[in-house]
Each structure stands twice: as structure tokens, then as C-alpha cells.
Structure 1
């Protein structure tokens, strides 16, 4: 199974995942977004994974314990990001009657769903 990490997570200023910097949504005018602050987090995960693999030669069981801890941390962070984004999306339309805003929020739902499906190689 191939897992793709989507680095364009979107969370609002009032929702922060413990230990993760906040991401910023792409500007509505279509210009490129600034580099994602999560890049340094993902780079740190890659570095820690390399350390786990290197540690295997010295202590195989210890390497597996570290791998378990790392995967548990990343899984928890990913879940927090996903639920945080969902909460933000819900807040965007609950009391809004503007059709254009509702349309753009529906597009954001679509994008979020596609990001999740990409994790399982099921994106359209």
C-alpha cells in the first residue's frame, strides 16, 4: 500500500494541533500560497524515521519501539488536523445564507475529502 502525505492541511487560527504549526489557506485570488509551515514538521518526521532505521542495527526491538511511538504520534496529529479542518468547514456555513460562500465551502469540503481519499489511493 502506498501512502501519500498531503501537505496542504488547512486549519484556522483558533484551532491548533499540539506540537504542529498552523497552516495557511491559499489566497482566494488564485496566487500561490506561501510554503506550508507543516513542511518543517514533516521534514522532522522523515529525519526521525531515518534515525529509527539506522538504530535497527544497534537495537532491533528498540527501533521497533521508536517506530511505534513515531507512527502513533503522526497518526494522532493527522487525526487532529482532519477533525480541526472539519470543524472549521462546519463553522464556515452553519449560519451563512450567501450562495457564493456556500459554494466555495462545498468546494473546500470536496478538496478535504479528496485529500483524505488520496491517503488510501482512492482519490478520483
Structure 2
């Protein structure tokens, strides 16, 4: 993973990735995002800048140990990547749980909240497919 790749927050939460323009109306855009939109989304971080710095330092420490102990370096890299994936999963699970709690109380949630949730899922899905 390069030092430019997105990293998680230490709290396990995910920073919302939203465009600077608001969609008109309350429906989710049905057309696939343009390449420009997808590339713009993929350049935005899913995590807070402070945590990016910490995780980049952790990666640098892992990578610097390769010459002395390549096997341990790869094991540490695996652990760090697993931690990042776990934090992403936790963040999406927490967001889903909040929506499910609303629904369990009989609250529908606003169309705008649901649109933003779907947008975050779509952007993340597109990033996964681009890997």
C-alpha cells in the first residue's frame, strides 16, 4: 500500500465522503458516475487526516524492517492492512446499525440521509472494483 492510499481513523469511524454539490430532488442518481466523478471520489480519503499520518508512519516502520527481517515485515504489513480493512468494515456496520435502529423504532429516516448512505456505498464499491 503506498503512502497515498486511504487509511482509517483510530476511532474506527469513517469520515463521510460527499461531493461539494448537492443533488437536486430527493432521488438517487440512477446513471453510473462518470469517470471524472469516480476518479474524483477515489482521490478523497475515507479517513481523517490525523489518522492518515499515524498510519503512514506505521507503514514506514513496517517497510523499513524489510531488509533486517523480510518475513516479519510481511507479517506486520498483513496485520496493518487487516486493521485498515476491519476499521472500514466497522464504520460501514455502525452506519448500517444506525439506520436499522431508526427503522426498528418505526422511523423511516429522511430520503436525503438514505441518498447519502447509498452514495457512500456506491463510491466505496467503485473504489473496490478499481483496485
**TM-score normalised by structure 1 residue count:** 0.60
Distance 1:117 1:24, change over 3 A: closer
- Unpaired stretches in structure 2, ≥5 consecutive residues: 22-45
Q: Which residue of 1 aligns with 2:69?
A: 59
Could you say what secondary structure the match of 1:5 adopts?
coil
- Tell me, in whole angstroms, the C-alpha distance in 2 between the residues paired with 1:110 and 1:65: 35
Q: Is the 8 A contact 2:62 2:76 kept in 1?
A: yes
Residue 5 of structure 1 corresponds to which residue in structure 2?
6
2:113 corresponds to: 105
After TM superposition, the runs of 4+ consecutive aligned structure 1 residues lying more than 4 A away are 21-26
- 1:56, CA displacement in angstroms? 0.4
How many residue pairs align between the two structures? 99
Mapping for residues 1-124 of structure 1, pairs under 5 Å:
5=6, 19-20=10-11, 38-94=48-104, 95-96=106-107, 102-121=110-129
Flag structure 1 segments of 5+ consecutive residues without an equivalent. 10-18, 31-35
Residues 22 and 109 (structure 1 numbering): CA distance in 2 closer, same or farther, change over 3 Å? closer
Q: CA deviation at 1:116?
A: 2.2
Deviation at 1:74, TM superposition (A): 1.3
Higher RCO (Cα < 8 Å, 6 or more apart): 2
Of the structure 1 ranges 74-83 and 84-93, higher mean CA displacement relative to structure 2 is found in 84-93
CA RMSD for the aligned pairs?
A: 3.4
